[in-house]
Structure 1
Amino acid sequence: MLKTSFPRSEISVLLLEGIAPSAVDAFRDAGYERIDVRSGALTGGELIEAAREAHIIGIRSRTHLDAEVLKAARKLVAIGCFCIGTNQVDTAFARRRGVPVFNAPYSNTRSVAELVIAEAILLLRRIPEKHMACHRGDWIKSATGSHEARGKTIGIVGYGHIGTQVGVLAEMLGMRVLYHDIESKLSLGNVEASTGLNELLERADVVTLHVPATRETEGMMGAAEIARMRDGAVLINASRGNVVDLEALREALVSGRIAGAAVDVFPVEPEGNGARFESPLVGLDNALLTPHVGGSTEEAQNGIGREVAEKLLRYSDDGSTLSAVDFPEVTLPRLSSDTRLLHVHENRPGMLKAINETIGSSAANIDAQYLRTLDDVGYVVTDVAVEREAGLQLGEDLRKLPGTLRSRVLF
C-alpha cells in the first residue's frame, strides 16, 4: 500500500515552553490544524510520549531532545529551536535520522543590544550601588566614579550579529568602539578592530562579550584577563554562562579593581521561574544580575516565532533547508505544478546515481534537481513531471534504496 503525501491538516505540530503566538498563527494561516501548544518544558517519559506522534517539534532552551527522545519520535520531520542556541538538541543524531534543525539567530539581536547599552550606561554611572543603597535607607549622592558614556571606549568581544548592533548603538551615544573577533570582519561606521583580546581589555572602559559557547571561549575571561582590564572598567556578559570565571570576577568586584559588572547568563541556571538562583555574584552591590532576559522582549519573541515557524513551514511544504543547523542546506523555489521528491541518505559514493536510475526507470522527466552534502548526510531534491500516483510510487522506490535515511513526496 502506498504511503500518502501528508496533507497539512494531518501534520502534527508540538510547540513547547510558551512559544510566541506568532508561531501558532503562522502554522494555522498555512493550513496546519493539529497544533499542540504547551506552556512549559517537558522531560522524561512525558516528553517521549508527546514527541511520539509529532511531525514537527518546536522548543526553546529548557526542553532537551536527546537521542532517546529522537528515537521515539519516529514521525519527526523537523525541529525548531525558538531561540539562538541549539545545544539542547542532539543535532548530529537528528541529522543522521534525516531531521533538520532550525533556529533564530537574528530575531532577538536588537533586544540584546539594547540591554547591553542600557547596562553600560547604568554601570558607568554607578547606578547599581546607588540603587542598592537606597533600598537600605542610605543616600549616596556623589559624582565620584560616575561617568558619561560619551567619549568612552566600549570593547566588543565577538563582532557578530549582536556585537555589530551594540557597536552601532554605542556610536550613536558618542562612544569609541573597539572590537575583537577571531575572524576578519567588515567594520561598521568608525568601529576599529583591535590587534587582539589583550589590547581590547587594556583600552576599553566597557568590555562586553558576544561569543558562542565553544571549547575556545569557555573560561576566556579568567583571572588573568580580568586583571588586564583598566582600573575602574566594567564588564558585561550577555553571551554564554561559561565564558566568565565568576569567582575571579567576584574577587575583582569586591576589591574594586573593576567598578562593576552586568551578567545575564550563568554556568548553571534555574530550571524555571520560582526555582532558587545561586551565584558567587549574589549580594554584591556593583553586580547587576538579570535572569537570562537579553532576548526576552515581546518584540523579540514574536520575531523569533515568525522566523522559526517560517523556516519549518518552508521545509515541510517545499523541502527548503536554508539556514538549517548541521544539515545540508538547499535553497529551493516554491513547489508549483511538479511532484517533488525529497531524499535524505548516507553520504557515500553512488547514491545520486542510484536515485537517478530509479527515477529514470519510471520514465519520469526530471525538471530540476538539487544536491548538497554535509558530513555523513546527503540531501537530494528532485522535481519531476508525473501524476500523483506515479510520484507516490517513486517515493516508495526511493525509500527502498540502500543508504536511505528518509524519503518524502510533496505535491
Structure 2
Amino acid sequence: MSSPNTSYPKSKIKILLLENISDAAVREFGAGGYMQVERLGGAVSEAELIKAIKGVHVLGIRSKTQVTRNVLDAADKLLAIGAFCIGVNQVDLKAATERGVAVFNAPHANTRSVAELIIGLCVMLIRKIADKNSAAHRGEWLKDAKGSFELRGKTLGIIGYGNIGSQVSNMAEALGLNVVYYDIATKLPHGNAKQIRDLKELLKRSHIVTLHVPSDATTRNMIDTEAIRAMRRGAILINHSRGDVVDLTAVKKALKTGKLSGAAIDVFPEEPENNGDVFECPLQGMSNVILTPHIGGSTEEAQSNIGLDVTSKLIKYLDYGTSEGSHTVPPVSLPPQASTHRILHIHQNIPGVLGEINSRLSKRGINIVGQYLNTNPDIGYVILDVESRISKEAFEILKGIKGTIRARLVY
C-alpha cells in the first residue's frame, strides 16, 4: 500500500531520534518520505529534552531517556513517541494519553537475541566458565571438573512465560533441560514445559532460575531473601528482565554462603547514563558472576528489527491514523477509501461524543464514507473518511466538539 499525500507536508514533519537508534529507522523514515530526521547520540536530561522537543512531531527514544509530564507539557506539536526497545516504563503513559500522544514500542523484536544469550549464560555458569576465564587471564591454570555440570537433565525455572520466556523454553528443551515456568496468567506450554502455580515450588525445583517479567508493584524485589531461601542449594540465578525485580544485596549474601553457585545480571536498579560512566554493583568481584551492561537485546539484528518495527508503526500512524500497537491511543485501523479525506479525532472518553460528531456533520450535509471508533478508560479515538469536497469544513466542525483533545486532517 503506497503512502498518501498527507495534508501536512511530510517535508515539514520533524523527527527527533535519541540514544543511537538504528540506521534502519532513518532509512525506513526516508523510504516513507520523511526526511527531516535529527539524531542525537545519547540520552538527554529532562531539561535538555524540554528544549529539544519544541516543534518535534515524532520523538524516538530507547530505555534511558525519560519522557515526563513536564516534557510532554513542552511538546507543542508532538503526535507520537517511538520507544525503540521492549518496554515503555520511561514514558509517562498517563500524561501521553491525556494529550492524545500515541506511544509505540517493539515488544517482540529482540526476543531471539535475549533468548540466545540466556541459554549461553546457562552453559557458562553451570560450567563455572567465569572463574576459569578470570584465572586464565591472571596466568593461572584452573583445570578442574569439580562443581561443573552438564545442562542435560537439569531443571530450568522460567519466571514470566511471555515472548522471551517461551522462546527460552523451546531452546532449553532442545538441550535436554526440563522446563517449568511460573506466570500470573495461564499460558499454553511449549513442548514438554509445565506451568507451576506456586512460585516457591518453582524455586525449590529449579537448578537454574531465569526472570522475564515487567517492572511493576507485583514484581518489585520478587527475588529477595525469602525467595532465595526457597531455592535449592547451589542454584543459579539469571536476571535479564528489569533491574528492580531482584534484591542484589540478598543475592550477594547467598553467593557468599554457597546458597547460590552463580548469577548473571544484565539489568540494575541504577544504571549509568552513558558508556564510560562509573558503574557500581554489590556483585562486582564475586565468584562465578557475569555482569553485563544491559545488553540482553543488543545485537545488530535486534536493533535493526526494532528500528524497522517501531518506525513502521509510526509511519502508519502518520500516514493513515492506524494506532494498533499503541499504549495510549485505542487501537484503530481503517482501510483508505477512494476519493475521500481522512480526519482523526481524539477526545475525552465522555458520553455522547460520537453522536455529536455524526449529528453535526449530518446537519451540514457532510457524508461520512467510513468511520471507526475505539475507546480506553481515558480517551476515545475516531477515524473518519469524508467526501473530499467538504473535508475542511468537517475538520473545523470536529475541532469544536466538546471534549476534543486533538484533531488531525491526515490526507
Deviation beyond 6 Å, 4+ runs, structure 1? none
Question: What residue identity is the alignment partner of 2:318?
Answer: S
SS of corresponding position for 1:177:
strand
Question: What residue identity is the alignment partner of 1:193?
Answer: Q
The answer to which of 364-373 and 203-212 deviates more is: 364-373
Separation in 1 of the partners of 2:364 and 2:408?
17
Aligned to 1:38: 40
Aligned to 2:311: 309
Superposed displacement of residue 335, structure 1:
5.8
Superposed displacement of residue 336, structure 1:
4.7
1:407 aligns with 2:407: yes
Separation in 1 of the partners of 2:14 and 2:169?
42
Aligned to 1:50: 52
Superposed displacement of residue 111, structure 1:
0.5
Question: Could you tell me which of 94, 103, 106 is aligned with 1:104?
Answer: 106
Aligned to 2:3: none
Question: What residue identity is the alignment partner of 1:351?
Answer: V
Separation in 2 of the partners of 1:112 and 1:237?
11
Aligned to 1:392: 392
Separation in 1 of the partners of 2:161 and 2:407?
39
Superposed displacement of residue 385, structure 1:
2.1
The answer to which of 206-215 and 58-67 deviates more is: 58-67
Q: Label 1:304 to 1:334 Cα distance change in 2 as closer, same or farther (>3 A).
A: farther
Superposed displacement of residue 41, structure 1:
1.8
SS of corresponding position for 1:46:
helix
The alignment-based identity, stated in percent, is: 50
Superposed displacement of residue 372, structure 1:
0.9
Aligned residues of 1:102 and 1:323 also touching (Cα < 8 A): yes
Aligned to 2:170: 168
Aligned to 1:206: 208
Provide the aligned C-alpha RMSD in A. 1.3
Aligned residues of 1:79 and 1:99 also touching (Cα < 8 A): yes
Aligned to 1:182: 184
Where do residues 1-400 of structure 1 align in structure 2 (5 Å cutoff)?
A: 5-334=7-336, 336-387=338-389, 390-400=390-400
Separation in 2 of the partners of 1:356 and 1:195?
50
Question: What residue identity is the alignment partner of 1:239?
Answer: S
Q: Label 1:100 to 1:303 Cα distance change in 2 as closer, same or farther (>3 A).
A: same
Superposed displacement of residue 49, structure 1:
2.1
Aligned residues of 2:212 and 2:241 also touching (Cα < 8 A): yes
Aligned residues of 2:337 and 2:370 also touching (Cα < 8 A): no
Q: Label 1:335 to 1:12 Cα distance change in 2 as closer, same or farther (>3 A).
A: farther
Q: Deviations over 1:14-56 (max 9, x none)?
A: 1111100111011100111211111122224432222101111
The answer to which of 233-242 and 394-403 deviates more is: 394-403
Q: Label 1:268 to 1:342 Cα distance change in 2 as closer, same or farther (>3 A).
A: same
SS of corresponding position for 1:259:
strand
Question: What residue identity is the alignment partner of 2:166?
Answer: T
Separation in 1 of the partners of 2:137 and 2:394?
72
Aligned residues of 1:203 and 1:230 also touching (Cα < 8 A): yes
Superposed displacement of residue 373, structure 1:
0.9
SS of corresponding position for 1:328:
coil
Q: Deviations over 1:171-212 (max 9, x none)?
A: 111111110100000111111111311111111111000010
Superposed displacement of residue 108, structure 1:
0.6
Separation in 2 of the partners of 1:254 and 1:335?
67
Superposed displacement of residue 334, structure 1:
4.3
TM-score, structure 2 normalization: 0.96
Separation in 1 of the partners of 2:364 and 2:27?
40
Structure 1, unpaired ranges of 5+: none
Q: Label 1:297 to 1:402 Cα distance change in 2 as closer, same or farther (>3 A).
A: same
Question: What residue identity is the alignment partner of 1:71?
Answer: D
Separation in 1 of the partners of 2:404 and 2:336?
25
SS of corresponding position for 1:394:
helix
Q: May I ask how many residue pairs the two structures share in their alignment?
A: 406
Aligned residues of 2:96 and 2:328 also touching (Cα < 8 A): no
Aligned residues of 1:318 and 1:335 also touching (Cα < 8 A): no
Q: Label 1:335 to 1:294 Cα distance change in 2 as closer, same or farther (>3 A).
A: farther
Question: What residue identity is the alignment partner of 2:391?
Answer: G
